[in-house]
Chain A
Amino acid sequence: MSAPLLEIRDLHVALPAGSERPYAVEAVNADLAPNEILCIVGESGSGKSLMSRAVMGLLPKPHVHVAKGSIRFGEEDLVTIPDARLRQIRGSDISMIFQEPMTALNPVMTIGDQIDEVFRFHEKMSRRERRERAIGLLDDVHLPDPAASMRAYPHELSGGQRQRAMIAMALALDPKILIADEPTTALDVTTQAQILKLIKEMQEKHDTGVLFITHDFGVVADIADRVAVMQGGQMVEAGTAAEVLNNPQHPYTQRLIEAVPSLTPRPPRVQAAKPVLEVKNLTKTFRSGGGFLGFGGEERIVHAAKDVTLELRHGETLGIVGESGSGKSTVARCIVRLIEAEEGKILLGDTDLRPLGRAAMRPHRARIQMVFQDPFASLNPRTKVGAIISQGPIIQGVPREEAEAKTRELLKVVGLDERAYDRYPHEFSGGQRQRIGIARALVLGPDVLVADEPVSALDVSIQAQILRLLDEIRERMTLSMIFITHDLRVAAQVCDRLAVMRYGEVVETGPTAEIFRDPRHEYTRALLAAVPGKDWRAG
C-alpha cells in the first residue's frame, strides 16, 4: 500500500454544550490511500457526515468544531491551516459531492457556467480552453449531448443527470480526494446503479481516493475497497470490504448486517383465494398550470395511474414496487380515498368505494387504513399520542372510555410503553413514531392496511424491527396489506405477491418468488439488476 493521501488521527469533533453527547466524532483514526474507495457506514447520528465535513473544513462553526486531533493531507494539517489555503485545496485537491444535487447546484446558473467557475477560480486558462475542458468533462460523465447540457439550468436535468453534472464539477480539477456524502440516496435504484458505476469508473481513471459516506450496505458491497463502520461517533470496525461484509467482528456491525433484508424471497404462505379488495381499471390524471380561469398558460397533464387493476386476497401482503413517479403512491392514496380517481372501481368486499361521498365513505373508513412514510410528518406535533390514536374510534362513534382502553391496549401491541399515552410525538424516535402511526391505523380494526413506504425513512436496524412488527400484527389480526416500497429487498421479505409499476401502469404482477426468479418484463429485470449489493448475500 502506498503512502496514504489522507491521515485522520484521533479526530474529535465537539458538539455544542447541552447536546446528547459531547463529541459528534470521537477519537477516529482513518487512512485513505490513492485509488481507493473507503466507505464510511453508519446509521443516522453516527457522525459520519460531520467527519467528512471536518475534512472539507465545512463544519457549522462555531457550534461544531474540531476539538482535538489532526487531518493530515500531504504535508499539511487541514485542522490548523489558514482558511485561505483551505479554500485553495477545496475544489482543486479535495472536492465533494452531496446527497441532493438540486440544492448543491446554483439554480440560476447554467451547468456550463458553474463548471467554468471552478476553472476560473483555480487555474489560468483561456475562455475557449475552459469551454472545451468543460464539454470534455460532461462527456466523461456520460451526459447526453454535452454541448446542450452546458446551456441547461439544473432544474432542466433529471436527478441522475444533475448528480452527473455534480460529479463532473467535482472532478474538474482532477482532485486527489473526492468526498461523496450519500450521493445516491435521493436517486432511484436504476439511476443509483449508474451513478455508482460512474463514480467507480472516474475513480479508476483518475486514481482518486474516494471517501464515500453511506448508510446502505448494498451500496458498500458494490463500491467499497475498504469499509469503516461508525456508531455514536466512534469507529467501531474498519477493514477491507470482504472482511467487514462477510466476517464482521464487532457486534454492532454484525447487528447492522443482520438487519439488511435478504434478496431471497421468503417462503410463500398459503393463500386464500377470496379477494378482500379489488381495484379495477383505476385511472388518475393530474393537471397543473392553467391558472385562474385558464389564463395561466399551458396545462400540463400527468397520468399518475393508467388503467390499474389489482387484487388483494384475504390475509396476503401485496407489494407495489416501482421508482419515483411510477404512480405507486397515487394508487395507494386513491384506494384510501385521499385523492379522487377519475375512473375505475375500488371494490372493498361488495362496495365500490370510488363514487362514495364523504359521509357515505365514513363508515367504510374503519375497514381500510393507512400507514404513512414519514414518521416525523405523519403525527400532529401539537397533539398527545393518546389523542392521536383514540381520535379515530371517537370519530367513528365509539364511547370515549372504550376508545381510550383500546388505545392503551394497542400501544402495548405495537411495543410502546403505556406512558406514551400522555406524551407528545416529538419525545419519540423515528421508529417509535412509526409504531404510533401503526397503532393509529390498527385501532379501528381495519381489514385492509395500506402501508406507503413505511420503513424507507428509518435506519436499517429500526427498519427490521418495524417489518417484524408488521408481520406479527398481520398474523395476529388477520390483516390484508398493500405494501408500497421502492426497495426490492424489503419487498422480498414482506410481500406474498408483487405488482411492478412504471409510468402509472402495472407492468407485471405475480408471486414474489416467481418475479424474483423469472422476471418477465424488461423493466422488472432492470430493477432487479440495479439492486445494490445483489451479489453479496444474494443467496
Chain B
Amino acid sequence: MVQFWRLFRRNRSAVLGLVILGLVILMAATAHLIFPDDPFRLAGRSMSPPGENGFLLGSDSLGRDVAAGIAHGAKTSLLIGLMATLVAVGLGTLMGGLAGYYGGLIDDILMRVTEMFQTIPSFVFAILLVAIMKPSIESIVIAIAVVSWPAVARLVRGEFLSLRGREFVQACHTLGMSDARIILREILPNCLSPIIVIGSLMVATAILIESGLAFLGLGDPNIMSWGFQIGAGRTLLRSAWWVCTFPGIAILITVLAINLVGEGLNDALNPRLRERT
C-alpha cells in the first residue's frame, strides 16, 4: 500500500485529481448540512445573478438555488456513476472471464453477444432503455451499465486468455483445482489492476451519460442532478448564463478529476509503464 502510494504520487496531476475528487465527495456528503432544504424548493427571486438576493451562484427561472442544486446534484452524479460502474464491471468481468477462460464455443457466443451491444451507439441505446423503463435512478443505472459493460468484457477476456495459458494456472489444473477457484482465486487477482483502471475511467463516462440523460429530460424527476440543471437553464443561456454554466463547470471538473485519478492508477498499477517517466 505504501509502495502503491509512492508510485501514485509520482504523477502530480493524478494527486491533484484526487484532491479535487475528494472535495467533490465532501461536497456531496455535506450537501444536506449546508443546504438542508430541498433543492427543488423555490428559494427566492427567480433569475437572480450570482451573489444577489442571497444566492451564491444565482437562481434559475423558478427561483431555485443553483448552488444547492450543484451540491445535491453531486450526490446524484457520484452515486449513479459509482453504481453503474459497479454493475458494468461486475457484468463485464463475469462475461469476459467466462469467455476468456473457457474459450471455444462459449467464447464465440459471449463475444458475439458483446459485439451486438457494441454495434449500437451507446448514448442512443441508453436513451432508448431509459425511455422504455421510465426514468428513475434504477433505470438510469441499468441503462448506463448495459451500454458500458462490453468494454470491460473485452478487456477481461483478453487478460483471461493470456493468463489461462500461464504455467501457474496449469499447475493448479494438475493439482485438481476446480474451475471456479482457478477463476476467482488464481486468475482474477492477477487482472485486477486493469479492471480498476478501466472502472475508474468508466465512472467519469457514467457521470457524463447521466448528465446527458437528465439534460434531455430523462433523469429521475424527483432527484436534483447537474444534467437536469443545465437542461432547465438552456433556454435562458443568454439572459441567465449562470444557470447552465456552474453545473457545467461542476461536471467538467469532476470528470476531469476522475480521469486524472484513473490515469494515475494506470501509471501506478501497470508495471510496463513504470519506467516511462
Which A residues form the contact surface with B (CB < 8 A)? 63, 292-293, 333, 336-338, 358, 361-362, 365-366, 368-370, 372-374, 377-383, 391-392, 395-396, 437, 440-441, 444
Contacts and interface: CB of A to CB of B under 8 A. Distances in A.
A448 to B, nearest CB: 11
B167 A382 contact: no
B41 interface: no
A336 B108 CA distance: 28
B175 A377 contact: no
B167 A365 contact: no
Considering residues B167, B170, B172, which has the most beta carbons from chain A within 10 angstroms of its beta carbon? B167
30 contacts: A292-B108, A293-B108, A338-B170, A338-B173, A338-B174, A358-B176, A361-B176, A365-B175, A368-B174, A370-B174, A372-B170, A374-B167, A377-B167, A378-B167, A378-B171, A379-B168, A379-B171, A380-B189, A380-B190, A381-B190, A382-B190, A383-B186, A391-B172, A391-B175, A392-B175, A395-B175, A396-B175, A396-B176, A440-B171, A441-B174
Contacts of A292: 108, 112
B173 A380 contact: no
A230 B171 CA distance: 36
Contacts, number: 62
Contacts of A391: 172, 175, 177
A293 B170 CA distance: 28
B10 interface: no
Contacts of A382: 189-190
A457 to B, nearest CB: 11
Interface residues of B, number: 18
B166 interface: yes
Given A381-B190, A396-B175, 9 more contacts: A292-B112, A293-B108, A338-B174, A365-B176, A377-B168, A383-B185, A391-B172, A395-B177, A444-B175
A304 B128 CA distance: 52
A380 B170 contact: no
A369 B174 contact: yes
Nearest to B169: A380
Nearest to A372: B167
A377 B167 CA distance: 6
Given A292-B108, A381-B190, A382-B190, A395 B176 contact: yes
Contacts of A333: 170
A336 B172 CA distance: 12
B108 A380 contact: no
A261 to B, nearest CB: 24
Contacts of B186: 380, 383
A364 to B, nearest CB: 9
B168 A365 contact: no
Contacts of A373: 167
Contact of A365 (B108, B112, B174): B174
A370 B189 contact: no
A251 B256 CA distance: 61
B272 to A, nearest CB: 14
Counting from the closest, the 4 A-B pairs by CB-CB distance are A378-B167, A365-B176, A372-B167, A362-B176
Contacts of A369: 174
Contacts of A378: 166-168, 170-171
Nearest to B189: A382
A287 B94 CA distance: 28
A440 B174 CA distance: 11
Interface in B112-168: 112, 166-168
B193 to A, nearest CB: 10
Contact of B171 (A293, A362, A437): A437
Contacts of A444: 175
A102 to B, nearest CB: 19
Interface string B168-201: 1011111111000000011001100000000000
